[in-house]
Amino acid sequence: MLQSQNGTYNPPALNHPAIKVEDLTVAYHDKPALWDIDLLVPQGVLLAIVGPNGAGKTTLIKAMLGLLKPVAGSVEVFGRPYKEQRKLLAYVPQRRSVDWDFPTNVLDVVLMGRYGALGWFKRPGKQDRELAREALKKVGMEDFARRQISELSGGQQQRVFLARALVQDAQVYLMDEPFQGVDATTERTIVKLLQELRAAGKTVVVVHHDLQTVTDYFDWVMLLNVRKIASGPVGEMFTEENLRLAYGGRVAFLHARPKEAEERIKGEGRRIKDEG
């Protein structure tokens, strides 16, 4: 959690949010995937979006990015419509949504993150390549720059996509299940990267499936099940009641002593993960 120098939680201001979602409804074939969502994402937080399968988590990320047209509502980034601020956002999609057989090497994939700044008709220069190599170094992939992306493990591929997001030098990072199916080394790399982004004042929104690690990795949380169940600081909103509302009554564990509650929430997180 974010803490001040004296060790107490220091909640971020909401009067100038990084992202403002208002009255957002998104539907697929006339069936609502998101319904009347209001959300303020403060600047400089690590926010986890959690909820059961089919809750609309990926849909919300894509709506924030302007990849889906809502039935109603709006998304603002730093107080302006998304279309005017798109260069301020970087996106890490789900790994399974990417065609990894595409014939390209690791360095070229990372350089794709520079096209937003360069424009599609200008070739990356020396400085862009240096930025790409620096990003690969941050995620422990500098020795794989010339390797074909299809030759990498799942965790290595995820780290390459994180590097591609880093070279955009965005203010807001939207990540769709970056921890899904990765090895322990990649998980540690992602956690370290999230902490560095927060320390740099960046805002990070992560679709997250593992309830066991929410309190360890994030300071802000949104619980979602088509409708918004709750959003706010993890310590206030990641509760038994809100989890039960989000997951349909399958969660009950948070009362009693804090340590016991923590162990029970992690145990319940393992059970939900196994069932899902």
Q: Say whether pLDDT at 96 is over 80.
A: no
Structure confidence at residue 95 (pLDDT) = 78
The residue among 99 and 146 whose pLDDT is bigger is 146
Query: In the structure encoding, which two tokens stand for residue 133, read together?
Result: 């190599």
* Residue 54 region by backbone torsions, left for phi larger than 0, else alpha for psi between -120 and 50, else beta: left
Mean pLDDT of 154-164: 93
Lowest mean pLDDT among 19-23, 56-60, 185-189: 185-189
Per-residue model confidence (pLDDT) at position 104: 87
In the prediction, which pLDDT does 114 show? 87
Token pair for residue 112?
A: 């794709």
Specify whether the CB–CB gap between 205 and 174 falls below 8 A: yes
pTM confidence score? 0.83
**pLDDT confidence of 250, banded at 50, 70, 90?**
low
pLDDT of 170 > 60? The answer is yes
Mean pLDDT of 183-200: 93
Q: How confident is the model at residue 249 (pLDDT cuts 50, 70, 90)?
A: low
Q: Is pLDDT at 253 greater than 80 in this prediction?
A: no
What are the residues whose beta carbons fall under 8 Å from the beta carbon of 77, sequence distance 6 or more? Answer: 18, 19, 85, 86, 88, 89, 172
- Answer whether 36's CB lies under 8 Å from 189's CB: no
Report how far Cα 84 is from the mean position of its chain's Cα atoms.
21
CATH number of 19-238: 3.40.50.300
Residues 2 and 219 sit within 8 Å (Cβ to Cβ): yes
Question: From the CA atom positions of the chain, what is the Rg in Å?
Answer: 19
